[in-house]
Structure 1
Amino acid sequence: MDTINNQLAELWEYLTGPELWLTIGTGILKIIIILILAVIIVRVTRRLANRLFNKGEKGGKGRMTERRENTLNKLTKSVVSYVVYFIAFIMILDNVLGFNIGALLAGAGVAGLAIGFGAQNLVRDIISGFFIIFEDQFSVGDYVAVSEIEGTVEEIGLRTTKVLSWTGEMNVLPNGNITQVTNYSLRNGLSLVDINIPYESNVDDAERIINEVAATLPEKYEFIVGTPEIIGVQNLEVSHFVIRVIAETLPGSQWAGERNIRREMQDQLYKAGIEIPAPRVVMYDRGNDGDREVLEEQKREREQ
């Protein structure tokens, strides 16, 4: 009984003594200092990355360079944050909590080897992300179609890519699932517009009006590059013929170009008296002998 009382007394003396609380206070202070330094390093690195990749401070850059800057800016911030906080975690374990980091890392290596076989998808995502960035398949701000999703690339990481759809949904795609990419932002687009003209209208008159309207479009819309061109009569339909117009646009603006070209063409054609053709239906009265004779005569002519 005396032994237990002595041990409890020693424990109480240790808990209430200055040595324990000095050790705890010193450890907490070290943790706070390490975390503050980590936060400062991350924030300073982010500001440096913003200055380094700031398009506004550098003139005369091409579009490809700007795209790469946006991607590398976000990627640098993400990687630095992971690395700095991981180092801070290791320092806390080693200097404050007293863990044997060497043995811990060795054990983590063996465990990582075992986990790696079950984390093949993770490894695949990271490798795919590296090649997406290294090969510049697409960058932040590009309008792309990937995995049946179309939208603007918001962020590219080593594991996932975030694509914002034009309807507002944020799609997070594992990089390993990105097997085919359609990038609409690398080259100029092509607007393709088919204009229906009724057979009552003259082809030359319609093309003249279309050319007059096309000449004014580059001044009205800055995303239309050059004057739209008439390819010619594309199709002959039941009630109309089709004139095809093409126009080169800035990357990703081909759909806006099509909408505005249709609007301008329809307005001017309507003012010139060329209306949108309507479907035609021809009806015959079987009770009319004259119509029957006409049909029979037309049938005989076809057979001859």
Structure 2
Amino acid sequence: MATKNEVDLGEDIEKVNEDIGHLWDFLFSPDLWISIGIAALKIFFIVIVALTFVRISRNLVDRLFKRREKGPIRLTERRENTLKKLIKNVVAYVVYFIAIMMILDNVLGFQVGALLAGAGVAGLAIGFGAQNLVRDIISGFFIIFEDQFSVGDYVGVAGIEGTVEEIGLRTTKVLSWTGEMNILPNGNVTQVINYSVHNGLSIVDINIPYESNVAEAEPLIEEIVETLPDKYDFIVGKPEIIGVQNLDVSHFVIRVIAETLPGFQWAGERNIRREIQHKLYQEGVEIPSPRIVMYSGNEKDNILDKNRERGQ
């Protein structure tokens, strides 16, 4: 006769086998796979519609701004690029949010209303700790509204210099000239240096050795600066020779300034310096170098005696 433990073990095994059978029937039930297939088709359809709507909206935004060019309202190219990217991003965020809500509600069966209500209560509590997020969004709004800078501008913000790639409501992307992409929270943009709004000024100092005098050096520099506006489109007007800026140990300094298009002041300095140096080299004016003059003891005494005689 079987013992009680053996009977209980047999019942447990039979129950496990029964549960496995139910699970097997559930996993390979036609109704389950049909419902999964229908849900997958619904999700696929919602995603395709959302992506299509985003693409169509982007094309509409581009056409809208092209038609605006013929209208009475005029926007700068910088501001136009900024607004276009901002509108496209906002539309994409809204469409994707609606698509996710539709998938949760219509496909997966979540109670979106209750979920949103709970999120609202939780958001009220989280909002007290999300001051930085609110500050970033408000700062981003005023950056765009006040046109502090736009996409394509070369700016200096938060210790970073580069070209603005994108302006969002929360962050700004700045591409450094060395290739780094810097993503800055808009709340950190407390001071902006925008190099792309007004014309720049190239300042070039030319070192001339004392063996050449000002009367010889300035005409040579004047001759070359007259040709620069024709060679370089970004130089606005004829550069101006300010005059002798400084007297150094082995040379004197002649300063040249030139007005350039926005953001081209550094290119102007490099090209002006190269053209003037080439001209001076052709005319035999050498670049000054530091010099050390050494005297022997006797020569030193003779020089001191001559200086005393001159002082008398």
Deviations for 1:217-260, whole angstroms, at most 9, x for unmatched residues?
Answer: 01111111100001111111122111110000011100010011
Match of 1:136 among 131, 137, 147: 147
Q: Which amino acid aligns with 2:49?
A: L
After TM superposition, give the deviation of residue 114 of structure 1 in Å: 1.4
Residue 115 of structure 2, aligned match among 99, 104, 108: 104
1:298 aligns with 2:310: no
Determine which of 211, 227, 238 is the counterpart of 2:238.
Answer: 227
Secondary structure class of the residue paired with 1:277: coil
Q: Is residue 115 from structure 1 mapped to residue 115 from structure 2 by the alignment?
A: no
Q: Return closer, same or farther for 1:64/1:251 CA change in 2, 3 Å cut-off.
A: farther
Please give the per-residue CA displacement for 1:177-196, whole angstroms capped at 9, x wherever unaligned. Answer: 11111111111100000111
Contact kept in structure 2, 1:139 and 1:153, CA below 8 Å: yes
Separation (CA, whole Å) in 2 of partners of 1:213 and 1:236 = 23
Q: Report SS of the residue matched to 2:227.
A: helix
Say yes or no: does 1:66 pair with 2:67.
no
| Structure 2 residue aligned with 1:29 | 41
- The farther-off stretch of 103-112 and 272-281 is 272-281
In structure 1, distance between residues paired with 2:259 and 2:70 = 26
1:204–1:22 distance in 2 versus 1, CA, 3 Å: same
Q: Counterpart of 1:45?
A: 57
CA-to-partner distance for each residue in 1:35-76, whole Å, 9 max, x for gaps?
A: 211111011112222333459x94899996100111112212
Equivalent residue for 1:146?
157
1:31 CA drift (Å):
2.3
Deviation at 1:91, TM superposition (A): 1.6
The residue type equivalent to 1:247 in the other structure is A
Equivalent position of 2:271 in the other structure: 260
C-alpha distance 281-59 of structure 1, shift in aligned 2 (>3 A): farther
CA–CA distance in 1 between the matches of 2:159 and 2:250? 37
1:203-222 superposed matches below 5 A: 203-222=214-233
Distance of 1:297 and 1:21 partners within structure 2 = 112
User: How many corresponding residue pairs?
Assistant: 298
On the 8 A contact 1:152/1:164 being kept in 2, the answer is yes
> Residues 153-302 of structure 1 correspond to what in structure 2 (within 5 A)?
153-286=164-297, 288=298, 291-299=300-308
> Matches of 2:236 and 2:190 in 1, distance apart?
32
Indicate the percent of aligned positions where both proteins have the same amino acid: 70
Structure 2 segments unaligned to the other structure (5+ residues): 1-10
CA 1:16 to 1:281, structure 2 compared with 1: closer, same or farther past 3 Å?
Answer: closer
Equivalent pair of 1:143/1:252 in contact (CA under 8 Å): yes
Distance 1:291 1:30, change over 3 A: closer
* C-alpha distance in structure 2 between counterparts of 1:11 and 1:199, whole Å: 99
Structure-1-length-normalised TM-score: 0.87
Against the structure 1 CA distance between its residues 104 and 284, is the aligned structure 2 distance closer, same or farther, given a 3 Å change threshold?
same
In terms of Rg, which structure is larger? 2
TM-score (norm 2): 0.85
State whether residues 53 and 70 of structure 1, in contact with CA within 8 Å, keep that contact through their aligned partners in structure 2: no
1:136 is displaced (CA, Å) by: 1.1
Structure 2 CA distance for aligned equivalents of residues 107 and 277 of structure 1: 76
Deviations 1:59-109 (A, max 9, x none): 899996100111112212211111001011112222233333322211110
The answer to whether the 8 Å contact 1:163/1:171 transfers is: yes
Distance 1:225 1:60 in 2: 30
Opposite residue 114 of structure 1, the aligned amino acid is A
For structure 1, the 5+ residue unaligned runs are: none
Moved more, 228-237 or 5-14: 5-14
